[in-house]
Amino acid sequence: MITTSAPAASPPQAPPHLDLDARMALRLAEMDERCTLAVLAVDVNSAHIPAAEPLPEVVAPPHVVPAAAPCPYSTPLAAVLWRAGRRLERDGWCTGQLRDGARACLIGHIRTEASSRGQADDACVLLLEAIRRDFPQAETIPSWNDDQCNARLPLIYLGRAADLANARNL
C-alpha cells in the first residue's frame, strides 16, 4: 500500500516590514483608487440630471454708512458730554496722556467738543461728580481714566454725566 502524504504546509510568513514612507505610499494609492471610484460613481449617478442654468452674478449692495444720530439733549453741557462720547467711540480712547493721535482721554474729548475752556471745565466737574457717585475713591478724572482697562466705563460715565447735566438743565 502506498500512502501519499500531503506536502507539509509551510508556516505562514510574516508580511515584510515596511517603513513609514512605503506604508504612506500604499495608503495614498488606495485613497487615489477610492477617490477615482467615487468621482466615477457621481458621474454615473448624475448623468440623467439635466444641466442647470448658470447662477446669476450676485452684486453686493453699496456700502451705506448710517447717518450720525442727532443729539438727544437740548442743554449745552449735556450736548458737549454726549458729543464727547460719540468722539470717543469714533476716534478712540487712551490712558496716560491727554492725546495720542486722534485718540484722547476723557478730558481730551470733552475739550475738543466744548466751545470754551469754561464749558469744558463745567462738563468735567459734572463728569467727576457722576464718577464719584459709584467710585468715591476717585480723586481726579485723569486718575480714574488711567485705572480703566478699556473704554466701556468711560463711555458709560460720559452718558451718566450727560443725563445729570440734562436733569439739571445745564
| pLDDT tens digits for range 129-140 | 999 999 999 999
Residue 112 lies in a domain: yes
* Tally of structural domains, the chain: 1
Residue 81 lies in a domain: yes
Residue 102 has pLDDT above 60, yes or no: yes
Residue 52 lies in a domain: no
Residue 101 lies in a domain: yes
Q: Which amino acid is at 107?
A: I
Residue 123 lies in a domain: yes
Residue 8 lies in a domain: no
Residue 90 lies in a domain: yes
> Residue 143 belongs to what domain range?
76-167
DSSP letters for 38-92: HHHHHHHHTTTSPPPPPPPPP-PPPP-PPPPPPPS--SHHHHHHHHHHHHHHHH-
| pLDDT tens digits for range 48-92 | 777 777 878 888 888 887 777 899 999 999 999 999 999 999 999
DSSP code of 100? E
Residue 4 lies in a domain: no
Mean pLDDT taken over the chain = 89
The model's pTM = 0.61
